[in-house]
Structure 1
Amino acid sequence: DLMRDIVNILGPFFEVTELLGGSEYITFFYMIPSILGLMDKLDCSTDHLDELNNINFEMPDLVFDNNVGFVDAQEEEEGGPKGRKIKINTPIDVTNMQHKIKNALYNALLHYWDFSDEELFLAYLLDPRFKKLRFATSTQQLQAKAALREKYNNIKSLQSSLTLTNQPLDFNEQLSAENNQRERQIYQKTFIKSIFMQNTVDEPIDEISHYLSLPEIFYNHNPFHW
């Protein structure tokens, strides 16, 4: 039963490794959703997390060393390091072992991966394969969307400023002449429009909302052919 549990725990890691090593497209954007999915799969809401809070990931010691016995190995070379051999005939305490394995893996992922950078989720928001941010929390989703809208508005403002700066000097005069010409017309052709377009309102296009409303593409599709 323990071996079956271990296989089930490590199975998702095998799938992620296959995905990262076998995709024909760039695999960087698979990493964060996969890691967050693994952490969620490990479900470390057990009562044994306190046992692993003091893990030193810089040392070669394993979190399970207290459960096994070791014998001193012979030095392979003079002055070489002395290895450790497990006493395979010694019974091992496997109480709560599956929880210890899950918690050790969870803490390792938490130690080596930092998800505090807001730009990280903004990048995924711009990838058509992951734009729904299903792997992120509600707060992370809202922050990424707010950051995207802020950057978009900043760019639009900059473009508007550049457009006004580069306009010819007689632009306002030309616009005024066109308005005067329309005012001098005796009859304005508005009847047909009033019939067929009375319920039509020309609203400005919100490109951000439009982009976010578009469906995702499959995770294994080419994001550049969207």
Structure 2
Amino acid sequence: MISDHKWNLLTDLKEILSLFAEVTTELGGSKYVTNSLRIRMLIEIINTLTTNPSENYTNNDEQEDAFEDEGNFNISKPVLTFGLLDEIKSKLYANLNKYYPTITTDALISSILDPRFKSLDFAPDEQKIKIEQYLYELFEKEKGGQKETSNNSHISSGSGLSINKLVLNTMKDKEADYQIFTSNYMA
């Protein structure tokens, strides 16, 4: 006979594992963009698994791999369930941390460019600042590359306006548009 405590444990495990199932199903979609969802869902799983964040961060290297074979188990022998849920969550967290050790700025680019997640409400504040700075740096780098390309081009159009002037005027317009875009988009 299964005790109430064990039923509660199974219910809690079902909730945790169903989150993995939902994320797997959602990220397995092929008719919609999933890359911008990836980091948001990973953070959601990590937050669900984290019982005590400082404890999980310090024990990462000490955790064994949950997928390693630990030998034969005697299924007729009772299992001590006290603390088992926290142990399972800790092992799942350690393995997630093993495969996804840090959330990089590059990984968040798709999320910030997706209108659904542009606020990055799931990311820490320092990560939000880094991604906004990184996006601005990418824009500046691209803008510099376009200026260099436009300066090397000496083709002129039939109307007498050079391509360089057209590109530079377009870039000035784009820069003004970008300033408006970033201030409105990030708001």
Relative to the length of structure 1, the TM-score reads 0.58
Quick check: 21-30 or 90-99, which moved more? 21-30
Higher radius of gyration, 1 or 2:
1
Aligned-pair distance for 1:143? 0.8
Query: For the residues of structure 2 that align with 1:158 and 1:106, how far apart are their CA atoms?
Result: 42
- Do 1:48 and 1:100's aligned partners in 2 also have CA atoms closer than 8 Å? no
Whole-Å Cα distance in 2 between the matches of residues 162 and 61 of structure 1?
A: 57
Contact 2:20 2:45 in 1 (8 A): yes
Q: Which amino acid aligns with 1:210?
A: F
Tell me whether 1:3 sits opposite 2:1 in the alignment: no
Given candidates 170, 176, 186, the residue that maps to 1:205 is 176
Match 1:131 to one of 118, 121, 135: 118
Residue 69 of structure 2 corresponds to which residue in structure 1? 61
Partners of 1:58 and 1:4 lie apart in 2 by: 20
Q: 1:8 to 1:208 in 2, by over 3 A?
A: farther
CA distance in 2, matches of 1:10, 1:103: 14
Decide whether the 8 Å contact of 1:48 with 1:99 is kept in 2. no
Change (3 A) 1:51 1:137: closer
Extract unaligned runs of 5+ from structure 2.
1-7, 162-174
Q: Answer yes or no: is 1:91 the counterpart of 2:60.
A: no
TM-score after normalising by structure 2: 0.68
Q: Which has the higher helix share?
A: 2
Contact 2:64–2:91 under 8 Å retained in 1: no
Check the 8 A contact 1:125/1:133 in 2, yes or no: yes
Superposed CA deviations along residues 158-212 of structure 1, whole A, max 9, x for unmatched, are 43454456577x98xxxxxxxxxxxxxxxxxxxxxxxxxxxxxxxx835155246
Aligned 8 A contact 2:36 2:108 in 1: no
Report what 2:94 is aligned to.
107
Number of residue pairs the alignment of both structures matches: 161
- Runs of 4 or more above 6 Å deviation: none
Q: Of 25, 31, 34, which aligns to 2:38?
A: 31
**Corresponding residue for residue 224 of structure 1:** none
Whichever residue aligns with residue 207 of structure 1, its letter is: Y
**Distance verdict in 2 for CA 1:3–1:29, change over 3 Å:** same
